[in-house]
Structure 1
Amino acid sequence: MARTVRFHEIGGPDVLKIEDVDVPAPRAGEVRIRTKALGLNRAEVMFRTGTYVSEPRFPALTGYEAAGVIEALGPDVEGFSIGDKVSVVPCFTLGDYGLHGELVNAPAFGVVKHPESLSFEDAAATWMMFVTAYGALVDITRVKPGDVVLIRAASSSVGLAAIQIVNMLGGVSVALTRGSAKRDTLLAAGAAHVVATGEQDLVAEIARISDGRGARIAFDPVGGAEVPKILETLSFLGTYFLYGALETSDIPVPVMSLLGKDLAIRGYQLHEITQDLARLEKAKAFVVEGLASGALKPVIAKTFVFDQIAEAHRYMESNEQVGKIVLTVPD
């Protein structure tokens, strides 16, 4: 038995319960991990509230990210040993696995032995943010030196990861945020430029930043009514990624921008990368190399202890954070 986060109904943070749950022996292709730290994502909030791409089956497990120590290996698992310090790439459907617990099973193909210099807290904060950004910016569009990349909701963990990856590849990272309150923080986080879309003329600002060429890529987890302006800022053959739906209304698409510039408008999810083993291995290697070199580093907004899971969800819903929310699991 191990203490595990579950919920039995859709609702606010208070529906989350820490319950004693029997954790079975790992099956073929799985490892069992004694967790030390857990990463919290917007996906878990949406899953709890019934607005995610998968629906909970009650009592529902939750949690995409964890770091800890391997305690047991399932049949046919190779490349790992009991005692290895590892973290988990989100590579499964929420509910099929749930990593927010003291003792969890995880699919071995998504488990990574992280660099020795990486703390458990940093490791638990790493994979969702960096692999999500990697898939769009490296695997699919291959950011090149000088490319202007618009990063919406830039103070989120994935937004900050995108800033770091664009900078690592020599691109020009442009953080988009609604107001100017987070401007200095985003500049300190490495953004080459910050545009407060509620206060500045986005189209004019991107024309100035790009010397009239436009942005090659827009990376957006929000959607909604602001998308036409973003599309207007893109260059010929530019690509717009929608990787979330913080606004669930349909996206209005300006036909002349679409045709006039031969734009690509693309839905994208992390699982496009994590469910393709060859692409996943390349993503792991890219992130591990970036972590080892110091070019990539998770940004942690705030740390809670495991028993504060509901409080951590409330903090996520406040939208005050800049970076990742992490929970530590006491020994």
Structure 2
Amino acid sequence: MGLNRADSLFRQGQYSVAPVFPAGLGFEVAGVIEAVGEGVDEFRAGQAVSVVPGFNLLDYPMHGEAVLAPVNAVVAHPEQLSFEQAASAWMQYITAYGGLVEIANTQPGDTVVISAASSSVGLAAIQIARRAGAQAVALTRTGTKRQQLLDAGADVVIATTEEDVVARIRDLTGGRGARVVFDPVGGATLATSIEAAAQEAILVIYGVLDFSPATVSVMDVLLKRLTIRGFGVAELASDSRRLGPAVDYVRKGIVAGDLVPVIDKVFPLEDFADAHRYLERNDQVGKIVVAVP
């Protein structure tokens, strides 16, 4: 079972969907099929599969010893992935693919600024930006995780509480600014992102870690002709015309070795609550996984 920030937000009543009790948790799992429903021909009992998040959590909670998943969300993951890696792949890579490839059309030579870069989606975005031939600039609060982010493929790491983010990005881009910003934070950082953005840049907002109001310079948005685009993985995953190419892209990237899920820590099922506490401390670099015996 792969943990995501959405699981914590849902549990705390801060997610976009309110819990209806009794409520289950979880979007991401990998396991073995016990049985298939009537009319399902593409999968069989005993097959190793994982789940692409793109369904209502109230209908299909995924964290349990046995779960029911809609067939359109089930995929046979590449064989070289362990179950822990397979439970870590789809939320992060489909989210990063949707923002950086499908929406922003990231190209060679682009500078991509990635906020909360040590999260699983942040690390996926680093890998996808590099795969597109772009410069991956990782943002993190302090320099503590700098080397880990560089080891994960970031070209540059900026500690947001220790450095002048806008000055660094302008310096890296010859004064132009970043063409793509990929951000799950929002709040006060949005103003910084707008200031650091290039002409006609696109800012993809895929989460809200900071619920404080954002102060936006409308003049900057107008003069730079910026696009600010909200994006959630369910938007893509619930559309079969878009999901197919996304899964294809991720599968090929994994097989080629360009996309490698980074796992921070694996908890046993009996320590599920501790896994959530660890997620909420924000100390991880990569995915937190809970293993079911």
Q: TM-score, normalised by structure 1?
A: 0.87
Q: Deviations over 1:216-250 (max 9, x none)?
A: 11111111112111111111110111111111122
- Equivalences for 1:24-173 in 2 at 5 Å? 38-173=1-136
Aligned-pair identity (%): 53
Quote the residue 1:18 is aligned against: none
Unpaired runs of 5+ residues, structure 1, are 1-37
CA distance in 1, matches of 2:284, 2:243: 28
CA distance in 2, matches of 1:117, 1:258: 45
CA distance in 2, matches of 1:140, 1:76: 35
CA distance in 2, matches of 1:305, 1:190: 29
Do the aligned residues in 1 keep the contact of 2:131 with 2:258 (CA within 8 Å)? yes
Q: Deviations over 1:4-55 (max 9, x none)?
A: xxxxxxxxxxxxxxxxxxxxxxxxxxxxxxxxxx101111000000000001
CA distance in 1, matches of 2:183, 2:83: 29
CA distance in 2, matches of 1:85, 1:97: 19
2:167 to 204, 210, 226: 204
Runs of 4+ in 1 over 6 A off after TM superposition: none
Q: Deviations over 1:43-73 (max 9, x none)?
A: 1000000000001111101110110111111
CA distance in 2, matches of 1:252, 1:272: 26
SS at match of 2:6: helix
Amino acid in the other structure paired with 2:19: P
CA distance in 2, matches of 1:227, 1:139: 22
CA distance in 2, matches of 1:298, 1:77: 29
Amino acid in the other structure paired with 1:228: A
Do the aligned residues in 1 keep the contact of 2:54 with 2:235 (CA within 8 Å)? no
Bigger Rg, structure 1 or 2: 1
Quote the residue 1:238 is aligned against: 201
1:208 CA displacement: 1.0
RMSD, aligned CA = 0.8
Amino acid in the other structure paired with 1:136: G
Amino acid in the other structure paired with 2:146: R
SS at match of 2:143: coil
Quote the residue 1:214 is aligned against: 177
Quote the residue 1:272 is aligned against: 235
Query: Are 1:314 and 2:277 counterparts?
Result: yes
Q: TM-score, normalised by structure 2?
A: 0.98
SS at match of 1:211: coil
Quote the residue 1:10 is aligned against: none
Unpaired runs of 5+ residues, structure 2, are none
Do the aligned residues in 1 keep the contact of 2:181 with 2:193 (CA within 8 Å)? yes
Query: Are 1:298 and 2:261 counterparts?
Result: yes
Number of equivalent positions: 293
SS at match of 1:40: coil
Amino acid in the other structure paired with 1:231: I
CA distance in 1, matches of 2:189, 2:54: 31
Query: Are 1:260 and 2:223 counterparts?
Result: yes
